[in-house]
Structures are given as structure tokens and as C-alpha cells.
Amino acid sequence: MTVVRLREWAPGSDPVRVVVNAAGRVDLALTDRLHDETLPRPYATARAGSALDAICFADDLARALLAGSPGAVIAARKTPAEIAAGFVGRTARLAFLSPTRFRVAGLDYLLPDPFHLFGGLLDRWQGLGWPEQIVPNVRRLAAEPERLQVEIHRDGPTRRGFVGVVAYDLVGLSAEERAAAWALLRFGEWRGVGAHTSYGCGRVRLLRPGETGERARSAWAA
């Protein structure tokens, strides 16, 4: 996984167009793959001040962006094991930094419930062909919103979504399931959650005790 920082992006403009145009300068066949709606997009995006970070889960895309975008640099590079490793505790507090929404039967779903959060992350983890992951029993997970509101995402097409902080109590899980839940959440810090992560929606960050999430940044920017 490689984060490529693109400097030819103006905040508010379409992140997908910037990524596709930069890749197309190097590899037109790659742009066909990026446009194929039957395939999951192998990247997400996140604001990085006046620049745009493209979180690439395919090395050919990262190479194309570095070659095709003037001033592009590598902001971070991690293996699946490095992303998944870290503290495992009873409660995970997750800050939703950019408007987040899930899609259900073609409709918008604006609630951060465990089923859609962890189910979506697991689907994306498995879609990358990463090492097999235990499936946490989400029926034994509790969620408590600490702060939640609806905002509009304006980078590219405007979309509604929720932002705020939600605490997930993992005490009902087995030790193995709890470790898997934490690994998926840490993966989410890089991949994003919910719909339209390629436009910068669904950016999340795990919080330490006492953190409010109001100044939280991407995991690689900390």
C-alpha cells in the first residue's frame, strides 16, 4: 500500500479526475481499469492541506501517479501486517473525519452501525487478496455515538454523510475476534469506510483516550 501525494489538485475539485488523468499520462490501459465499474477501485483519496493523497492498493497505479503527476511524492508505504498491527483493547473510538455514508439497495444509509462498518471493511480487505481475516461477530458489538452530525462532502460531486465520533465496545467478542476488529479498523484508517472513498468520503481515524477527534488527521500524517 502506497500513499502518493499529488500537488496538482485544487481543493473542491474532482479527486477521481485528478487520479485518472495523472495515471492516463503513463498508462491508458490502467485508466480503463479505473473506469470499470464492475471492479473495485484500487485506491482512496484524502485531503492533505492543499494537496491530495491517493492511497494506492496497486503498485502499478502508484508508479503511474508518481510518473504522471508533476511534483508527486511518496507520503507513506506500508505492508498489510504493518497496517494491522497495534494495540488491542475493549473499546475502539473512531472519528469520522469526512462525510461518510453506506449504500443499501441503492439508497443512502447514514448510520455508523457495526454491521455496515465492519462488513464493508472485511469485503475490501478480502477484495485485495490480503491474508485471511477472522470475521468478528458484529451482533455482539455495541456502538455509542459521542458526537454525530450530517455534513456535505464537496470535493467532486456533492454528497451528504455523517461525521463525528463513535465508540465501539468490543467486550462481547472473543480475543481472536477482537484482534480482527482492531485490524479492520486500522485498515479503515487507510482504506476509508463506506461509499465513494475514491472521492475522499469516509475518512476515519482511531482516537486515543481523551482525544476529541476535532484535530485528527490521516494515520500517515500523524
CA distances from 104 to 109, 134, 148, 180, 212 (A): 6, 24, 20, 24, 29
Q: Is the dihedral of CA 34, 36, 41, 47 positive or negative?
A: positive
What is the per-residue pLDDT across 7-43, written as a single tens digit (0 to 9) for each? Answer: 988 888 999 999 999 999 999 999 999 988 888 889 9
State the pTM of this model: 0.94
| In the chain, beta strands by DSSP E | 2-6, 43-48, 51-56, 73-77, 91-100, 102-104, 107-109, 142-153, 159-169, 204-206
What is the reported pLDDT for 214? 84
What is the reported pLDDT for 216? 87
Q: Which residue has the cell 473525519?
A: 97
Count of alpha carbons within 13 Å of 144, Cβ hemisphere only?
Answer: 7
What is the per-residue pLDDT across 122-155, written as a single tens digit (0 to 9) for each? Answer: 999 999 989 899 999 999 999 999 999 999 999 9
What is the reported pLDDT for 12? 84
Identify the helix (H) or strand (E) that includes residue 56. strand 51-56
What is the C-alpha to C-alpha distance for residues 123 and 138, in angstroms, rounded to an integer? 14
What is the per-residue pLDDT across 148-203, written as a single tens digit (0 to 9) for each? Answer: 999 999 998 899 999 999 999 999 999 999 999 999 999 999 999 999 999 999 99
What is the per-residue pLDDT across 49-90, written as a single tens digit (0 to 9) for each? Answer: 899 999 999 999 999 999 999 999 999 999 999 999 988 999
